[in-house]
Amino acid sequence: HVYVGGGYRSSLTWSLKAAEEAEAVAAISCSGHGRAFLDGPVSDDGQPVCECYGCYTGNDCSHLSKGCAADADSGDPIYLEPFWMQNAADTTVVISGWHRMSYDYADHNMMSIELENFIRKLHSIAGNAITKGRYMVFGVGSSQLLNAAVYALSSTPSKVLASTPFYPVYKDQTMFFNSESFQFEGDTNSWKSNNSTNNMDVIEFVTSPNNPDGELRQSILKGKTIYDHAYFWPQFTPIPGPSDQDLMLFSLSKLTGHAGTRFGWAIIKDRDVYEKVLKYIYLADMGISKDTQLRVLKILKVAIKQDTKLFFDFAYDKMRDRWDRLTSIFSKSTRFSIQKRHPLHCNFFHQTRLPSPAYAWVKCEREEDDDCASLLKSERILGQSGSIFGAKDRYTRLSLIKSQDDFELLLQRLSELVSREYDSIKTI
């Protein structure tokens, strides 16, 4: 392009129109409480309109709905959106109308080798997983790989286990697919105490750090194990060292916040297991979107700018700040408690630090408060009941990775709730 008095004269041809459209949509003001998107709803005259987040409404999302509940229910990882807005120029993707129409890349593979190489580099920088000499398979989120891994490990029939409290999708998927090859058997510890130590027909899910409580976990049965490492990144936990398990799953959603992109990957030691996971992905849907793979490549290129560690610094600062503020509120409460966090040395940040999990695992301490989620809901705070995770309803999961608006409202409501403990004391 040519420099013309104060600006560039671009030599763009076919991409100009789309780029201008994208910038025009991004420039629509939604008061910081919403976004307009290219594929969103349009007004009567065909113009994109704001989609407001959480409790905000109005044409420009400037109106806060009074009495709207603080929604800490879902694991929607919007907390990183500001980072990607700050790094817009490096993370934009332009896809031509004829981009990768084929089922395959040029090497007759359904996965991008370039992307695979970047993921290996990312693990090497984050120091959270050994990938050398390991196989890799991409999936539609790690969600798809959970089930692919169960299929790959199952002999007929295998029992699938997970330790309470656990991510409910393990159970839901296994029951829904209703395969002759496996069935869900519930909590690992209960099963162990009632059964022999012959673990040959058992598949154990180990979520580390755990969803909902953030604990770093190890296999209990030491047999066939699926390590769900969705949250094993420096923003959520100290990284004591690289994981070197037989089958490890990771997810873009919790790493960079791009949940909508649906991208996850498995790292696998054994060739036979690898081939079975690959076959699952091939048969289920002939590989995953090439558009998605292109976008993930661009996003990860920015995430691994090694000189600055910009990305992990941003993400960890955000999570640490949220935990500092949350802890300060719960420290004033005797009615509600949150999980204990244990300091560990983090090889990534080269310091001993506390974990800063994606979720607060709240316990209602009073004997009569045995349905914690309902109690919080009556205070206009939405979380997920303990029983969803196989735990008691005395526990509730609150998401800490949603947008800043959502988090601020959550803190405000929690603050009010805890401060009322003192009011009642004063009343007495």
Quick one: CA dihedral 57, 63, 66, 67, positive or negative? positive
CB of 386 to a second copy, least distance (A): 21
Nearer to a second copy, 102 or 196 (CB): 102
Q: What is the 3-state secondary structure (H, E, C) of 29-54?
A: CCCCCEECCCCCCECCCCCECCEECC
How far apart are CB 262 and a second copy at their closest, in Å?
Answer: 5
Q: Are strands 336-338 and 344-346 parallel, antiparallel or unpaired?
A: unpaired
Q: Are 338 and 356 in contact (CB under 8 A)?
A: no
Q: CB-wise, 247 or 401, nearer to a second copy?
A: 401
Q: How many angstroms from the chain centroid is the CA of residue 295?
A: 17
Q: Minimal distance in Å, beta carbon 401 to a second copy?
A: 11
> Nearer to a second copy by C-beta: 254 or 394?
254
Place of tokens 């047999």: 223
Question: Facing residues of 51 across strands?
Answer: 35
Q: Are 118 and 126 in contact (CB under 8 A)?
A: no
Spatial CA neighbour of 158 closest among 227, 224, 247: 224
CA angle, corner 148, sides to 142 and 149, nearest 5? Answer: 85
- Shortest distance (Å) from residue 222 CB to a second copy: 27
Q: How far is the CB of 141 from a second copy (least distance, A)?
A: 5
Shortest distance in whole angstroms from residue 393 CB to a second copy: 23
C-alpha Rg value of the chain to the nearest Å: 23
CA distance 323 to 317: 10
In the complex with a second copy, the residue whose CB is nearer, 314 or 395, is: 314
CB of 234 to a second copy, least distance (A): 19
Residue 106 identity: A
The length of the chain is 428
Q: Which residues of 161-176 are buried (b: 16+ CB within 10 A; e: fewer)?
A: bbbebbbbbbbebbee
The single-letter DSSP state of residue 286 is: S
Separation between Cα atoms, residue 396 and residue 417, nearest integer Å: 15
State which residue, 116 or 213, has the beta carbon closest to a second copy. Answer: 116
Tell me the β-bridge partners of 360. 398
For a second copy, the closer CB: 48 or 234? 48
Q: Are 42 and 20 a contacting pair, CB within 8 Å?
A: no
Contact 335, 348 (CB under 8 A): no
Least distance in angstroms from the C-beta of 370 to a second copy:
29
Task: Name which of 112 and 188 has its Cβ closer to a second copy.
Answer: 112
Distance between CA 209 and CA 187 in Å, rounded? Answer: 17
- The residue (of 78 and 273) whose beta carbon lies closer to a second copy is 78
In the complex, what is the shortest distance from the CB of residue 205 to a second copy, in angstroms, rounded to a whole number?
A: 15
Q: Given the complex with a second copy, which of 302 and 310 has the nearer CB atom?
A: 302
Q: Which is nearer to a second copy, 252 or 360 (CB)?
A: 252
Residue 192 beta carbon to a second copy: minimum distance, rounded to whole angstroms: 26
Q: Which of 259, 6, 266, 222 is nearest to 131 (CA)?
A: 266
